[in-house]
Amino acid sequence: MSLLLENVKKSYREPNGSILPILNIERFELKESEQAVLIGESGSGKSTLLNVISGITSADSGKVTIAGTEIASMAEVVRDRFRAERIGFVFQTFNLLPAFSALENVLLGMSFSREKPNRNRAKELLAQVGLEHRLHHRPQQMSVGEQQRVAVARALANQPKLLLADEPTANVDISNQETILQLLRDACAQNQISMLLVTHSQEVAKQFDRVETLSDFNKIHAEI
Ligand code: ADP
Ligand code: MG
């Protein structure tokens, strides 16, 4: 199995000191090479969940196991390396570095992992997303759809086991939405990467075989 969450709880502390519970997930599992979409309305904890899975944020308690390794108990520096080597992330706002070209942004996606950045592979990835003619463009010289395709190539650069996508098509137009989703799905299927995509959009969700609704298994509402 690729991802297993067990009894994962996460809350934030509000400015007045009170606790704001966000996640309480007894169990969630993603099998190897499986693709799932998780639906939840704005503010329901989708981004928090992806941050907990990737170890960007720590859960308050519980276990997060990725490709057989439990990450919640890792030291931060070990977890950062694990993330760099095993997890790909596509963000809603792309998070490309503005001063760098498409090719350099993809190379940066490789440079945090153990393997040496490989220029030819970076070019291949950009060709896969249809950007072989935009290698040296910087983000602001590209269309929004092109920028998100660079972000997809970058997320695949470290050959991840698990790809997390946080509303990856929320900022692109309808025709690019389908292209980006298909790119993600094909790349994951070809490389045996499991994918968890979160969205508030039913339109996006219906393109996936497995659709879960966060509030169905996030027990936070039951407690309030
Ligand atoms: P979603 O991605 O589903 O829109 P988020 O995971 O971003 O939801 O946020 C869930 C809830 O937690 C929101 O109500 C948000 O305001 C709150 N929240 C997010 N980050 C913090 C934080 N660092 N401190 C306090 N509250 C936060
Ligand atoms: Mg979010």
pLDDT in single tens digits along all 224 residues of the chain: 799 999 999 999 999 999 999 999 999 999 999 999 999 999 999 999 999 999 999 999 999 999 999 998 899 999 999 999 999 999 999 999 999 999 999 999 887 766 788 999 999 999 999 999 999 999 999 999 999 999 999 999 999 999 999 999 998 888 889 999 999 999 999 999 999 999 999 999 998 999 999 999 999 865 44
Tokens of 87: 């997890």
Residue appearing with tokens 């940066």: 108
Q: What is the structure's pLDDT at 1?
A: 74
Q: What is the largest CA-CA distance in the chain?
A: 53
Looking at all shown ligands, the one closest to residue 41's CA atom is: 1
Q: What is the structure's pLDDT at 187?
A: 94
User: Exposed, middle or buried by CB within 10 Å (0-12, 13-18, 19+), for 172?
Assistant: buried
Nearest-CA neighbor of 169 among 88, 91, 95? 91
Q: Among the atoms of ligand 1, which is closest to the Cα of residue 14?
A: 25
| Cβ of 10 less than 6 Å from ligand 1 | no
What is the best residue among 9, 22, 57 to mutate for testing ligand 1's pocket, by most ligand atoms within 8 Å of CB? 22
Q: For the chain, what are the domain ranges?
A: 33-54+75-210
Continuous H helices in the chain? 46-54, 76-86, 102-111, 119-128, 144-156, 174-190, 202-205, 214-217, 220-223
Q: What is the structure's pLDDT at 174?
A: 87
Q: What is the structure's pLDDT at 176?
A: 87
Task: Output the CA 43–ligand 2 centroid distance in Å.
Answer: 7
Report the topology of domain 33-54+75-210.
Rossmann fold (3.40.50)
DSSP 8-state code for residue 117: P
Q: What is the structure's pLDDT at 72?
A: 85
Q: What is the structure's pLDDT at 80?
A: 92
Give the span between the Cα atoms of 140 and 96, in whole angstroms. 10
Residues in the chain: 224
Q: What is the structure's pLDDT at 224?
A: 47
Q: What is the structure's pLDDT at 221?
A: 62
| Cβ of 46 less than 6 Å from ligand 1 | yes
Tokens of 33: 């090479």
Q: What is the structure's pLDDT at 220?
A: 86
